[in-house]
Amino acid sequence: MSHDQGQTLVHMVNQIAANLSGGRETAEAVEGVCAHLEKFWARSMKQRIVACLDEPDSGLEPLARQAVTRLAERQAAKAG
C-alpha cells in the first residue's frame, strides 16, 4: 500500500466531497468542502493539497478540485 501523503490527502478530500455533495447545489457543496478543510486541516496539509492542484494526475474529483481551488485563493488572501 502506498503511503504517499499527497495521495492520502487527495483521497481524503474526495471522500469529504462525496459526503458533502448529496442534496446540495454545487456552489453550496464547494463552499462546504472548502470550509471543512479550513476548519479541520493543518497548515501543512492545506499547503500540500493546494500543491496537488498543479499535478497533472492528482486524482482530485471535480467537486474536490473546485473546493481546493477556492481554498488556495482564500489561503493566498489570508497570507497576503
| 41-11-80 Cα angle (round to 5) | 40
C-alpha cell belonging to residue 76: 493566498
Residues near another protein (CB under 8 A)? 1, 3, 5, 8, 12, 15-16, 18-19, 21-24, 36, 38-46
Shortest distance, position 79 Cβ to another protein, whole Å: 11
How far the first Cα of the chain sits from its last, in Å, is 38
Shortest distance, position 12 Cβ to another protein, whole Å: 8
Shortest distance, position 15 Cβ to another protein, whole Å: 4
C-alpha cell belonging to residue 64: 474536490
